[in-house]
A and B are shown apart, each in its own frame.
Chain A
């Protein structure tokens, strides 16, 4: 059974990396989401898979029955999913905000913080209207 999950983790990670290499932010966000899915599968499988019994403590007992599934990886994965969900939501919101404000979804084309043009001072560069030559933070003030 484990090998199915191992392959699944590999496929998820590979797809995630492939998407992250795309020049569109939305695909990058989806790529990160797939990658975190791959990590969750790794955590889940490494806790050993068993289909014997759910990790429930019967009434009156103090521990789950022998052979019950390991509950800790499930708890870890649950936490990781919740965190990943929050981060993905933030990343999506950031993508939308960046797209609206910067007018592009291509991370390569986003050069506000690191202008591609040589760092000529504005006084010597009258063409400062073009966004590429605009020095960082000046727009915010």
Chain B
């Protein structure tokens, strides 16, 4: 049991090393990556089951007790995120079997993919602010590699912009950590609220430093998450690499940013100037993202803009701040990880069959690939929030939370942006799938090799089934999201689990301290 918290980190790291060594013994790296992803999902399930049973669990790494040692913590929110990430990781690992060409495979795409999973898992599980920064760097360097490993002109161009803007965000993150440490003298997340209160009580003059740190954190994490006005790196780059790459980016990178934002701004800075600007920022993100999507005619670029727009929903939930709003945000986050990645994967398959991402050069898929079309319709309308599909429930919770708070701008944004999302999805469906191909050369799925057919259809079908499950049986996911939101708003159990974690007996019996 001691290994439960460390396993989701160790497995992808070991898999990354193994994928690099595998070609020497004649094993293709993609198979090693697949096995690693299966084990990773198993570890995430085991950890999730444990969190469900015992509440928050925490463990001091290396035998050092917190706040001196670095802790790994799993609370309901991080367990849910880890589970979603691992599930998506497996789906993309299967898809990558056929999507990643031999050149990218030889250049180490699969090792970078596992490294990205490790970085995301670390970001979800760490209980230390500096450690969070390090995990973001792990994710960042892996994503840099995945973005540019193909070496095509478009990938290099996208990579330049992606790298430059993300490095600036990283610097802001580091400076914020310096300021927080200067005031509080600790970087353990669970230790920070108490220390910050004590520092403020001892010397109110530290308040500006804390405000600056909070705003720098908002800037850094907002840029990572893709919030207005720092989102422009995302639509500039996400459409360039292969579908498997973009899908895992969409599912993990921006989501890890918004996860860290929710964690920091519920636990460390539950109030302050940063949260006050978040609501308008979130609404601007939603609106501008969806307008960008409406303006484009290439499926992959439309979807990239929708990533931006939908991160706005999650940020809006955090800005509203009530239990219902946070639950809605978490539910929406989980739904979005599954649906958005699924849409990008399906768009990747569609491009292989029609030859283009551009709507005026695609089409005819409905006749040729009806099964695939069914998958796309479910995913597209789930993303638009058509009831009873999965996007609807998160939006419903956010709308109700907005009404309860009397925040009419938020309600209008949630509903209006949903409408425009529906417009984009309908546009893709009508022009890209339903209308006949302008040159009449849409290939059927059967034209692909049999192995590729399975690798393309199995993960997208599985993700669609998850979407349907989240939509048709919203009770359990909503209760899980509510539990996660409750734990975020009342961090007593989290703090007790971390600060009371004995270093050597590893797993604190801290679940009993839950309120």
Contact = CB atoms under 8 A, between A and B. Distances in A.
Interface of A: 20, 25, 28, 32, 35-36, 38-40, 42-48, 72-73, 76, 79-80, 83, 86-87, 90-91, 94-95, 97-98, 101-102, 107, 110-114, 119, 121-123, 131, 135-137, 139-140
B240 interface: yes
A72 B130 CA distance: 11
Contacts, number: 150
Contact of A98 (B150, B159, B237): B159
B156 A38 contact: no
B505 interface: no
Contact of B156 (A43, A91, A97, A114): A97
17 contacts: A35-B167, A38-B175, A39-B172, A39-B175, A40-B174, A45-B178, A45-B182, A46-B179, A46-B209, A94-B144, A98-B160, A110-B160, A111-B157, A121-B356, A121-B358, A135-B356, A137-B239
B297 A119 contact: yes
B443 interface: no
Contacts of A39: 171-172, 174-175, 178
B298 A119 contact: yes
B170 A46 contact: no
A64 B156 CA distance: 49
A20 B168 contact: yes
A72 B181 contact: yes
Given A136-B240, A140-B152, 10 more contacts: A46-B183, A87-B144, A94-B148, A98-B157, A98-B160, A110-B161, A113-B237, A119-B296, A122-B361, A136-B154
Contacts of A94: 144, 148, 156, 159-160, 163
A116 to B, nearest CB: 12
Contacts of B145: 90
Contact of B157 (A20, A47, A76, A112): A112
Interface string B341-364: 000000000000000111011000
Given A28-B164, A32-B167, A113-B239, A83 B181 contact: no
Contacts of A111: 157
A46 B209 CA distance: 10
Contacts of B181: 43, 46-47, 72-73, 76
B62 interface: no
A97 B148 contact: yes
Contacts of A119: 296-298, 358
Contacts of B183: 46
Contacts of A40: 174
Contacts of B164: 20, 28, 32, 91, 107
Q: How large is the interface on B (under 10, 10 to 19, 20 to 34, 35 or more residues)?
A: 35 or more
Residue of B141, B145, B170 most packed against chain A (CB within 10 A):
B170
A55 B47 CA distance: 39
Interface string B177-212: 111011100000000000000000000000001000
Interface string B21-48: 0000000000000000000000000000
A140 B356 contact: no
The 3 A-B pairs with the shortest beta carbon distances in the complex, nearest first, are A46-B182, A140-B152, A43-B178
Contacts of A91: 163-164, 167
A80 B153 contact: no
Nearest to B152: A140
A25 B159 CA distance: 12
Contact of A135 (B134, B155, B358): B358
A36 B130 contact: no
For chain A, what secondary structure do more than half of its interface residues adopt (helix, strand, loop), or is it mixed?
helix
B178 A35 contact: no
Given A47-B182, A87-B140, A119-B358, A42 B152 contact: no
Nearest to A88: B167
B433 to A, nearest CB: 17
Residue of B168, B209, B296 most packed against chain A (CB within 10 A):
B168
Contacts of B130: 76, 79
B320 interface: no
Contacts of A83: 134, 137
Given A47-B181, A135-B358, A113 B240 contact: yes
A87 B157 contact: no
Interface in B349-395: 356-358, 360-361
Nearest to B351: A137
B171 A139 contact: no
B236 interface: yes
Interface in B307-323: none
B272 interface: no
B165 to A, nearest CB: 10
Contact of A87 (B156, B167, B177): B167
Interface in B115-152: 130, 134, 137, 140-141, 144-145, 148, 150-152
B158 interface: yes
Given A94-B163, A113-B240, A43 B158 contact: no
A119 B378 CA distance: 28
A112 B153 contact: yes
Given A39-B175, A135-B356, A140 B144 contact: no
A43 B361 contact: no
B438 interface: yes
B377 to A, nearest CB: 24
Contact of A79 (B134, B140, B179): B134
